[in-house]
Chains A and B, each alone.
Chain A
Amino acid sequence: MSWTRKILRVNLSKGTCTPEALNMDWAKAYLGQRGLASKYLVEEVDPTCDALGPDNKLIMATGPLTGTMASTAGRYSVVCKSPLTGAIAASNSGGFLGAEMKFAGWDMIIFEGKSEKPVYLLMQDDKVELRSADAIWGKSAWETDDILHATHQDPQMRIACIGRTAEAGCLYAAVMNDKHRAAGRSGVGTVMASKNLKAVAIRGTGGIGNLEDAKKFMDAVDAGKQVLADGAVTGQGLPIYGTQVLMNVINGVGGLPAHNMRDVGFEGAGDISAEAMAEPRKSDGKPNLTTNAGCFACTIACGRISTVDKTHFSVKDKPQYHGASGGLEYEAAWALGADTGVSDLDALTYVNFLCNEDGFDPITFGATVAAAMEMFGDGDLTTDDTDGIELKFGSAEALVAITELLVTGEGFAKDLGQGSKRLCDKYKRPELSMTVKSQEFPAYDPRGIQGIGLNYATSNRGACHLRGYTVASEVLGIPVKTEQNDAEGKPELVKAFQDATAVVDSAGLCLFTTFAWGMDNIAPQIDAACEGDWSVEGCLEAGERIWNMERIFNQAAGFTADDDKLPKRMLNEAIKGGPTDGQVSRLGEMLPKYYEIRGWNPQGEVTAETRKRLSL
């Protein structure tokens, strides 16, 4: 069966922890993790509620495959209403915490209400209790992790927690686990902080058995692992270079935005690429990259573990950053680097360490700094506004200084912590915020790659590549090559990617498997582990159901077709130079067709027929 069939409801207002049976009818329709937690959220939370008020709920949920031997099956999601976007948030993380929750015997934890004082949840198999967080409130995520391990004298304990940015009200704070894995986007950490919940510490010893068909499952798992090992991206590209393998590729095809997306193409891309990470540094003869690392059960191991040169200006007098830690992934390297024009690899790595140490989304943070830099260059912001920091494109010193400031939550950090939408509104340059539904773009320019622009515009959690990674098809040719610059066929492509992604995100698996796996590799693993119809068709229908459910939540929260739009810069300011010279996003051509094939009306609303077809 693979689900533990048990969820924990934690009422923080009352201080109670209550076990409940998992709603199996919902599990069979929404699978787990993102889909199933969203179903609970939709049923229990008023979409118009204040995201940072006690009526919002925070759900940490595993998938049915989480904790099994299926490759990458260690994922969990954090689901709530987002304070950054006001839309539904579902942020996905790897590491080891999700599997530990399953081993402790739980599918999901629902946090509701708000604790009067800071607390953390201690979960040791069946034994669950809320404890005072006095010793860890005000500490970074890394310190919190160390203190809880020491307190409970248990090196095997897995910990998810928030850092100081969440406590300071930064709207894009992450929930960190295992020190450098993050449920990173949409401010799910901020919601956790709003509930006075500092951490969740889990130790599980029960394991997972009772698969629906164990023999069939192990055969499907072995076959799946072989496909990943044989895949060019999953077997070679990602383990050797990490997601950073994309930096030179995307720059080469005219899809890498730079300088708050004013430009496409970044002259420093090579200096901050995977290849640069592997090269010995001139300064100390050692490479930035120390090793690669896998999350739980992952046979790809794309994770980067990096070390900064001890004499680098950013860490020179800070021995606590001289050891190895979570290194740059592509999105972080882009947002912190190309988007701000900074090409100092070690500075970016240090800033990435800080993103992990205090739990905030490097994409939104980097993009917000980039917007501030553009305003600084235009004179909308001066050093009077920025606590004296010369916020110029390309300045590694400014980036380091502003990141260290963000953690304090003081001065200009208060503005920065609101994200680029609110920052640009405040300084009267709303057109400079590169966002959809108030969430910042990741590292692919929607003018240079048409499908990803439609995906950004329609993503249920605001601009995000992880809702429908059409770049796989449009650039890498996976599963089939489509032309970057074609608008035709992209609505169908975006829908197919979005629905399939919802399945992967709900199963407990990592989306990166889809660089080699199709649904015909994924469905048999789910089907062998779980009761219910998890054929390819059954899976994809669940994916479509999940997508529409999220859309309906957002509609009820007040979102309309007017929110499915891209910034004017993407629609009107053509790319200058390079392989995509002259292009703009042709969102207007794609959106009506997308609504039509989704079964929505021209206003982008889910129709009664579609609801009925998907049993919504």
Chain B
Amino acid sequence: MQKSLHIDPGKCTGCLQCEMACSYEHTGTFNPSRSYIKVFTFHDEGRFAPYTCTQCDEAWCQRACPVDAISVDMMTGAKVVSDDKCVGCKVCTIACPFGTINYSQATGKVVKCDLCGGDPECAKACPTAAITYVDADWTGYDRMMASAAKSLPSAEATT
């Protein structure tokens, strides 16, 4: 079964636990500036949105890479960057429609979410379940159910 990160921005409080967990897993330091997941704050709306790679099936980054540095982790479906092959040309960062693969000055390579090999630290660290790791076929399940609930006749109408 393939699983996907599922993000519900409505539950996010902007605490950055996910960024800390991600950077700790990948760099051994607590360092949001090197996290592969980012939380954006929309101040005037009072909203927060965690955002990271959705692991496209036909990944634009992978197609664009001139040195075949991006491969598919067959266990998780994650698109993974090989540091040995990456030459830091950044073409993938132009190709990605979502901006979720980025160049790192610290390493001279591009970096992106690799789903932590199938046990994403961000999802484990999130205190409000704004980030979960779910069956890839069902990332829309919550919203579908919420919409379905709205389609029910109101309690008054049925009595």
Contacts and interface: CB of A to CB of B under 8 A. Distances in A.
B31 A206 contact: yes
Contacts of B48: 291, 293
Nearest to A322: B44
A478 interface: no
Contacts of B21: 69
Given A291-B46, A291-B47, A299-B127, A69 B30 contact: yes
A298 B15 contact: yes
Nearest to A307: B46
B2 interface: no
Given A208-B30, A296-B16, A69 B125 contact: yes
A604 interface: no
B82 interface: no
Interface string B24-64: 10011111111000000001111110000000000000000
A201 to B, nearest CB: 15
Contacts of A298: 13, 15
A549 B41 CA distance: 40
Contact of B15 (A209, A295, A323, A324): A295
Contacts of A294: 13-15, 127
A156 B44 CA distance: 17
B20 A69 contact: yes
A5 to B, nearest CB: 16
Given A225-B127, A323-B44, A299 B17 contact: yes
Contacts of A299: 15, 17, 127
A255 interface: no
Contact of A324 (B17, B28, B43): B43
A206 B31 CA distance: 7
A214 B24 CA distance: 10
A294 B21 CA distance: 16
Contacts of B106: 205
B44 A69 contact: no
Contacts of A306: 46
Nearest to B20: A69
A225 B15 CA distance: 13
Contact of B16 (A229, A239, A297): A297
A74 B32 CA distance: 13
A103 B28 contact: no
A324 B42 CA distance: 9
Contact of A103 (B27, B32, B125, B127): B32
Given A69-B21, A179-B43, A204 B127 contact: no
B14 A103 contact: no
B34 to A, nearest CB: 7
A229 B125 contact: no
Interface string A283-306: 000000011111111110101011
A116 to B, nearest CB: 35
A280 B29 CA distance: 44
A67 interface: yes
A344 to B, nearest CB: 21
Contact of A205 (B15, B20, B33): B33
Interface in A260-315: 290-299, 301, 303, 305-307
B29 A69 contact: no
A301 B31 contact: no
Interface in A37-83: 67-69, 71
Given A69-B21, A323-B43, A301 B128 contact: yes
Interface residues of B, number: 27
A96 B13 CA distance: 13
Nearest to B23: A207
Contact of B13 (A99, A205, A292): A292
Contacts of B16: 96, 296-297
B50 to A, nearest CB: 12
B33 A156 contact: yes
A209 B28 contact: yes
A102 B150 CA distance: 47
Nearest to B45: A324
A69 B24 contact: yes
A208 B46 contact: no
Given A69-B21, A307-B46, A324-B43, A301 B13 contact: yes
Interface in A203-239: 204-209, 214, 218, 225, 229, 239
A209 B14 contact: no
Contacts of A290: 45-46
Interface string B59-93: 00000000000000000000000000000000000
Contacts of A323: 43-46
Contacts of B23: 207
A297 B45 contact: no
Contact of A293 (B13, B24, B27, B125): B13
B151 to A, nearest CB: 22
Contacts of B125: 69
A65 B29 CA distance: 13
Given A291-B46, A301-B15, A68 B30 contact: yes
Query: Which of A96, A225, A294, A306: most chain B CB closer than 10 A?
Result: A294
B33 A204 contact: yes
Given A69-B24, A209-B28, A290-B46, A229 B33 contact: no
A291 B43 CA distance: 11
Contact of A207 (B34, B44, B46): B34
Contacts of B47: 291
Nearest to A68: B30
Contacts of B34: 205, 207
Contact of B46 (A68, A71, A324): A324
A365 B108 CA distance: 52
Interface in A170-218: 179, 204-209, 214, 218
A197 to B, nearest CB: 25
B135 to A, nearest CB: 24
Contacts of B33: 103, 156, 204-205, 207
Query: Which of A71, A207, A214: most chain B CB closer than 10 A?
Result: A207
B31 A103 contact: yes
A207 B15 CA distance: 16
10 contacts: A204-B33, A205-B31, A206-B31, A229-B127, A291-B48, A294-B13, A297-B16, A298-B13, A299-B15, A305-B46
Given A96-B16, A301-B15, A306-B46, 20 more contacts: A67-B30, A69-B21, A156-B33, A205-B31, A205-B33, A207-B30, A207-B31, A207-B34, A209-B28, A290-B45, A291-B13, A293-B13, A294-B13, A294-B14, A296-B15, A297-B20, A301-B127, A303-B13, A307-B46, A323-B44
Q: Would you list the 7 A-B pairs with minimal beta carbon distance, nearest first?
A: A207-B31, A324-B46, A323-B44, A294-B15, A207-B29, A299-B127, A290-B46
